[in-house]
Structure 1
Amino acid sequence: MSALDIQYPESEEAIARIVVEAGKANRPIEVRGGGTRLDLGRPVQSASVLSVAKLSGITNYDPSELVMAARAGTPLAEIEAALAENNQMLTFEPMDHRPLLGAVGEPTIGGVFAGNVSGPRRISAGAARDNLLGVRFVNGSGEIVKSGGRVMKNVTGLDLVKLMAGSWGTLGVLSEVIFKVLPRPETAVTIAVSGLNDAEAAEAMAAALAMSVEVSGAAHLPESVIARFAGGSLKCGPATVLRLEGLIPSVEVRTGRLVAEMGRRGTVSVLDGDVSAGLWRDIRDVTPFADGSMKPVWRVSVAPSAGHQLVAALRLKTGVDAFYDWQGGLVWLRMESDPEAGLIRQYIKALGGGHATLVRADAATRASVAVFEPQPKPLEALARRIKDQFDPAGVLNPGRMTAGM
């Protein structure tokens, strides 16, 4: 697609005109932010591209209120820089998909919320959608909608803010987002427990989360991937890592309690400073699987006690590498060749349920496999009705999440 096929509106009104014209001409639009997640989801069959990259800038930020508003095309780096100046942060630490997908460009704040992109701190701070307070967007009819204001016909009672988070541009073109921010912790340390197998690690993480020490990150890194974290600074062998954050005196006390408990389970070391920060950045960005290949990578969400069981079952049937975040409830899987979508989802169902998203694969695979978790028939029908209300002409990112929608 040439640059002439990409439109860069600089206002909501310009977005609305483009969407209305596309509907009249029955010409599907691919909605973009910074273009860093174009290869996540099913390939969009579009006639043109609408990029919000020029709809940029922080529109309201009073650090004392712990709330920021920004246009959707604002680079994430600009948001984080403004927050850092005031010693604040996005608590849900959104993943940077560029290394894993081999993408270029700049992630935008609109793209973060459109994909509900959340990192390791989700277990304590919630997902991106839990931190989203308000939205403005243009729906598929070219109407400018503000959360809490205009109520769309036949969707009364729907939480538009939560609905837009994770909709991947299929319901509307985000133009502005309002979200919570929080103070940056004074310090952070990581307690690393060496030598636990996957099942033992699941028990250790559950025990740590049950303690009153406020764990903000809990992950397990098997031996097969350990060398690829934090520049190889961790010792050989599997490591179970637990993060504590906050005021220095509080962290010191909580570290002592957690080290004493985890010391009964394995050899314990304490990481701080750049090593600790780099480790959680690698976990967030799935650095071990950012290998330049197109080997399929899955993001699987299951009960924390079921993650290691899923991996063990898969290893009996196919080649797979894995590590665990969110106390074991988020499993990152890299397959050797075939994505094995049917097998993975069969095992997830047998283990009590969950969902699997194919984050990385070539275009042909993403076109032939259900990239996002298939919904039960009643939920699928509801999703279709919502899509029809928000985008009656079906012009916004058609097919990105589900074939035919």
Structure 2
Amino acid sequence: MTTFTPDTADETLEAIRWAVSEETPLEVLGQGSKRGIGRPAQTEHAVDLSRLTGVTLYEPEELVLSARAGTPLAELQALLAQHRQEFAFEPMDYGPLLGVEPGRGTIGGVLAANLAGPRRLKAGAARDHILGVHAVSGRGEAFKSGGRVVKNVTGYDLSKAMAGSWGTLAVVTDVTFKVLPAAETEATLVLRGLTEEQAAEAMAIAMGSSGEVAGAAHLPESVTSRVLDGALAGQGSTLLRLEGFGPSVAYRFERLAALLSGHGTHERLEEEQSRRVWREIRDCLPFADGTQRPVWRVSMAPSDGHRMVMALRMGAAVDAFYDWQGGLVWLRMEGDPEADALRHLIARHGGGHATLVRAAPSVRAAVPVFQPQPPALAALSQRLKDQFDPKGILNPGRLNA
């Protein structure tokens, strides 16, 4: 097996051109922190971007940061923190869930997986903050899209096409993201003792209020002991995050607590504990148990998620918790993932998307890991793939096919 480790964009281009000329597929890697997601690689060769690192532009006043694709996300977050700035979409770290040490994800991987965290309710995902890319297509052609300012997009934005493509369209070598000021402080209102149905109702009320809630999650009783070192153990916990300037957070907290006075007992997490619990929710740490028990990531309407889980529990041993006001459901199965049964159940409860984010390689090779696309969308995706990578050089088979 040959592994190319380019130091520059030109060396990356050379590696891809060699693969195209030999019609030899390549696995595309950063640090490999998300290697366990998707079908196992069907390649004998790889291009490893872990040496393609470094910040190429950072203008705090302009809220713009550019870096090479292999740059560790943790390094960029530390740099932004020095200027009280952040990636507002708070990308999750899949490492702990997949048995990889935390902090190994790269900024290129953030875009390839279109990462987001609990703040997606307000801030969207990586695709909503990407400004520009430099990349090499599966044809062996270098191209760039977008730029370094927000209003620099005309026509079809290829930068956004890279989001969620998992390295199957092009190898991104440089990225430019919009960054934003970090909140001065935060606090979390915790509603204790609600059922999953009651929690869905409370979160809907909170998100519809003037409280500017920046995170809404529910941890059933079986999950609460696995966050904050067990500080919330004993009852289900519904968490509502408020961010901003201190006086504003204090005022909105009191207003929100009064609005939800009839929904369970109330507790308050101050800044340090609040930041920690949302990181643990973001990274799915309640299910980061060192096993390969199947973990699913299900996206559906917030009002439907808890009903789907209730029906699922009738026939399977499953643990669950909810983010994005209930619109993101994390499921840990005790047995086989039963992909078709789960997806049919989701369809019967309003529809949605289910991705198998953790399972043994033999399981991932046998089931559709990513949600199968409807025929019209699948045809469009195939046309896009044919334009960017007609010979199927890049990460072949990773997205179910």
Answering whether residue 375 of structure 2 is matched by residue 373 of structure 1, we say no
Say whether 1:285 aligns with 2:287: no
Look up the match of 1:45. 42
Corresponding residue number in structure 1 for 2:208: 210
Matches of 1:369 and 1:304 in 2, distance apart?
A: 26
* Number of the residue aligned with 1:94: 91
Corresponding residue number in structure 2 for 1:20: 17
Partner of 1:153: none
Aligned mates of 2:126, 2:350 — CA distance in 1: 25
Aligned to 1:189: 187
Q: Which residue of 1 aligns with 2:227?
A: 229
Written as runs of structure 1 = structure 2, the 5 A alignment for 1:1-400 is 5-104=2-101, 106-148=104-146, 158-400=156-398
Aligned-pair identity (%): 55
**Counterpart AA for 1:113:** L
Distance, in Å, in 2 between the alignment partners of 1:88 and 1:231 is 28
* CA distance in 2: counterparts of 1:130 and 1:285, whole angstroms: 20
SS of residue paired to 2:384 = helix
User: Aligned partners of 2:42, 2:374: CA distance in 1, in Å?
Assistant: 25
Give, in whole Å, the separation in 2 of the partners of 1:180 and 1:159. 15
**Deviation at 1:158?**
3.6
C-alpha distance in structure 1 between counterparts of 2:293 and 2:400, whole Å: 22
Partner AA of 2:212 in structure 1: E
Runs of 5+ unmatched residues, structure 1? 150-155
CA distance in 2 between partners of 1:286 and 1:238 (Å): 17
**Greater shift after overlay, 279-288 or 323-332?**
279-288
Q: Per-residue CA shift, 1:317-368, capped at 9, x if unaligned?
A: 1111000000000000000111021111101111221100000001111111
Distance in 2 (alpha carbons) for counterparts of 1:191 and 1:261: 12
Task: Give the letter for the 2:80 counterpart.
Answer: L
- Mapped to 1, the partners of 2:334 and 2:159 lie a distance apart of 38
How many residue pairs get aligned? The number is 394
Please identify, of 242-251 and 272-281, the stretch whose mean Cα deviation from structure 2 is larger: 272-281
CA distance in 1, matches of 2:341, 2:391: 35
What one-letter code is carried by the residue in structure 1 that aligns with 2:243? Answer: E
Give distance in 1, aligned partners of 2:112 and 2:341.
29
Alignment-mate amino acid for residue 397 of structure 1: N
- The TM-score, its normalising length taken from structure 2, stands at 0.96
Contact 1:233 1:275 in 2 (8 A): no
Secondary structure in structure 2 of the residue aligned to 1:228: coil
The DSSP-based 3-state class of the residue aligned with 1:356 is strand
> Post-superposition shift, 1:148?
4.0
Decide whether aligned partners of structure 1 residues 286 and 148 sit closer, same or farther in structure 2, where only a CA change above 3 A counts. Answer: closer
Question: Could you give the per-residue CA deviations for residues 172-204 of structure 1, whole angstroms, max 9, x where no partner exists?
Answer: 001011111111111100000001000000000
Aligned counterparts of 2:66 and 2:83: Cα–Cα separation in 1: 15
* Deviation of 1:157 (Å): 5.1
Q: Which runs of 5+ in 2 are unaligned?
A: 148-153
Answer whether contact 2:221 2:233 (CA < 8 A) is retained.
Answer: no
Pairwise CA distance, 1:263: 2.0
Amino acid at match of 2:352: G
- 1:233-265 Cα shifts (integer Å, max 9, x gaps): 114110100000000111111001011122211
Q: Which amino acid aligns with 1:299?
A: R
Q: Secondary structure at the match of 1:298?
A: strand
Q: Kindly indicate whether the alpha-carbon contact (under 8 Å) linking 1:120 and 1:325 is maintained by their aligned counterparts in 2.
A: yes
Residues 15 and 142 of structure 1 are in contact (CA less than 8 Å); yes or no, is this contact kept in structure 2?
no
Within 2, Cα distance between the matches of 1:305 and 1:134?
35
Distance 1:185 1:383 in 2: 38
**What is the distance in 2 between the residues matched to 1:234 and 1:277?**
15
Alpha-carbon distance, 1:273 to partner: 2.5
Q: Deviations over 1:109-145 (max 9, x none)?
A: 0111110111101001111111111111100111111
Aligned equivalents of 1:17, 1:62: Cα separation in 2: 31
Partners of 2:74 and 2:250 in 1: CA distance: 31
**2:224 partner amino acid:** I
Q: Distance in 2 between matches of 1:71 and 1:148?
A: 15
Aligned-partner Cα distance in 1 for 2:23–2:124: 39
Of the structure 1 ranges 176-185 and 228-237, higher mean CA displacement relative to structure 2 is found in 228-237
User: In structure 2, what is the Cα distance between the partners aligned to 1:128 and 1:386?
Assistant: 20
State the alpha-carbon separation in 1 of the partners of residues 29 and 155 from structure 2: 28
Q: Is this contact kept in 1: 2:167–2:394, CA < 8 A?
A: yes
CA distance in 1, matches of 2:146, 2:242: 36
Task: Tell me how far apart the structure 1 counterparts of residues 295 and 271 of structure 2 sit (CA, whole Å).
Answer: 30
TM-score by length of 1: 0.95
